[in-house]
Chains A and B, each alone.
Chain A
């Protein structure tokens, strides 16, 4: 390819067009700030934004005309396949990475203070949520925008079960997974028969219904005031200074001095084991027929149905599995914060979990784990950017879809070489 000449006139025209659009779009909303029925002019901000857009468009326009930009444009045109295939006999080093991570996670609590521990617990809860949604969105290709509804079922399951039935953490943990899965089945079964996009809006509505009911049913859920949730117990020993339900506090039983951090340490340990378990189950499932069926359905539904796959059941299994993982995460969230209220289960949470899956890579487990930590721990460290968090998530989603719709880390599979003397 000969080096293309740069058409400056076109670039300047593009920039002017972008500037005009930016002026119309940003002018009123950014430039005129409403104050009661009056307003305040903020022309400076508009000038800034229009300037940034014009310069940005000019640079982009020039860049795309260079040889390198052309290559970039060409790479967008090709739609890459779902998975990358590695040569047969490829030895993955991921085993050692995982081992190191497990060792790190085991020694981490000895060095961490309480704040760091709670941040990591928070991160792990989102790893769990991300893994659950990754099965639904990443592997099965179903867009679930009400994922937070199942999370709320888990969290309120613990709070309500404790309040009305006297159930503890360990009883509710499996119950919440089952309840969330059942809710997923009831919601998913009718909708999954239809075109995939409907699922997105129905789940969006479902998430809102759950939140509104929790918010409005004052006599049962306490409404916006929320409810308290119990801490976990260690074989009946409680993690409180004084026993509440007739049990024994752990420090009296072992004869050690009371330490309030012990509760978080215990939650961390249990949560870590559950995350490992879910990781393992997901790893195995994606290699079983049902996992292969999820991905096949994502890539081409019509072909799958023609091959005799029951698309409703396959999709439903992914949907239920994702929901039950969210239910588990909800129980951990409730016991970790000791308190639940509907404000924790807004649409923004669903969007955050979706951002984790999108950034991490559709279907890629490692990517989701990293993305969950990046997206939940970074905001803790960068408190001053808290206002821009949602904006950044939005930009992230749009840019990722244009740039790398399969996520940063692609799934790679080891290819299979046909054996000699055997018909392939």
Chain B
């Protein structure tokens, strides 16, 4: 095993952790109302802009120490993206609860176009960026070569793991999480037992968007640049991760994200960078053909 392999492993792990965070949004929404939220990738894109705006604002007020900046950015981005998730659900999906099967999907496509164009119109089409916040790196020597592990990547991994742990805690231990799980298992029964399922669905959208917001901050820290079109590709990849792990399953989304991130990084390290997106999409098609229920999902049974 040479240094390139391990370097791509590190890159893949950080990328995969972020894919996993976004995939959570897809998987939770799919689990609870059985629709693919196409606008989710755009929520991530909006959060990247929000992160850059927060950093610029904090810099304007003279706050430059890393812990304060990152804390402020995270809180700001996660809260505002959460509101975005809430608003999207309220406008585009809630009126369609009892509509045809195709209606929410088309509405979601529309919402995704709206978000893209709205950001493009208000922020301009040019590429945006943030300054490097965290300098320096660790170097691990392997033979003659070395693997570079920047502090940014370490931070991303830690933050992603903490985010996932917090989510797992919410879903497994709190009252809100129990309501979510109940609604996911049987919406009508949960309603009969006195759970306000409409509100639970809103919470799920907020949680999913908040996770995408966290992912947006982390990706922006790593790459530094983004544009209004960034949500499209990342959205499909995160969906691939969700399907790979088994859609509807939370640990599946995290596992799928990690596997996809590593596979993609290894592919671009060993074969070709130009075709790494093609590789991910092909992987999605192949998974759907050979194992549609994913790694941790259960086969779907349709009953009348």
Residues of A that sit less than 8 Å from B by CB: 21, 24-25, 28-30, 32-34, 36-39, 45, 76-77, 79, 137, 141, 143, 145, 187, 190-191, 194-198, 200-202, 204-206, 208-209, 212-213, 216, 302, 306, 347, 351, 354, 358, 362, 387-388, 390-391, 393-398, 400-402, 405-406
Contact = CB atoms under 8 A, between A and B. Distances in A.
B170 interface: no
A398 B110 contact: yes
B80 A24 contact: yes
Nearest to B110: A397
30 contacts: A21-B86, A24-B79, A28-B53, A28-B76, A32-B53, A37-B129, A37-B131, A79-B98, A137-B102, A191-B289, A197-B105, A200-B36, A202-B284, A205-B240, A208-B236, A209-B278, A209-B282, A212-B277, A302-B304, A362-B102, A391-B113, A391-B114, A391-B117, A393-B110, A393-B113, A398-B107, A398-B110, A401-B96, A401-B103, A405-B100
Interface residues of B, number: 76
A38 B52 CA distance: 10
A201 B284 contact: yes
Given A390-B113, A398-B107, A196 B101 contact: yes
A387 B106 contact: no
B113 A29 contact: no
Contact of B107 (A79, A205, A393, A401): A401
B36 A201 contact: yes
A282 to B, nearest CB: 19
B229 to A, nearest CB: 9
Given A194-B292, A201-B236, A394-B114, A34 B96 contact: no
B205 interface: no
B49 interface: yes
B60 interface: yes
Interface stretch (B7-15, B119-127, B179-187, B257-265): B119-127
A206 B285 contact: yes
Contact of A205 (B98, B103, B236): B236
B118 interface: yes
Contacts of B115: 394
Max count, chain B CB within 10 A of own CB: residue among A212, A216, A390, A398: A398
A306 B302 CA distance: 12
Given A198-B292, A205-B236, A391 B118 contact: yes
Nearest to A197: B36
Given A190-B288, A196-B101, A197-B36, A358 B278 contact: no
B285 A205 contact: yes
Given A28-B49, A212-B278, 12 more contacts: A29-B118, A77-B98, A143-B106, A194-B300, A198-B288, A202-B288, A205-B281, A206-B281, A206-B285, A387-B121, A397-B106, A398-B110
A68 B189 CA distance: 34
A29 B83 contact: no
Contact of B121 (A39, A213, A388): A388
A61 B284 CA distance: 44
B84 A25 contact: yes
Interface string B19-52: 0000000000000001110100000001001101
B274 interface: yes
A190 B46 CA distance: 34
Contacts of A196: 101
B124 A394 contact: no
B111 interface: yes
Interface in B90-147: 91-92, 95-96, 98-107, 109-124, 128-131
A388 B113 CA distance: 11
Nearest to A196: B101
A166 B100 CA distance: 48
Contacts of B34: 197
A81 to B, nearest CB: 11
B114 to A, nearest CB: 4
Contacts of A28: 49-50, 53-54, 76, 80
B232 interface: yes
A209 B107 contact: no
A34 B35 contact: no
Interface string B232-243: 110010011001
A194 B292 CA distance: 8
B281 A394 contact: no
A298 to B, nearest CB: 8
A213 B281 CA distance: 12
A391 B124 contact: no
Instruction: Indicate the member of B114, B233, B274 with the most A CB atoms within 10 Å.
Output: B114
B288 A39 contact: no
B298 to A, nearest CB: 13
Contact of B57 (A32, A201, A206, A216): A32
A37 B56 contact: yes
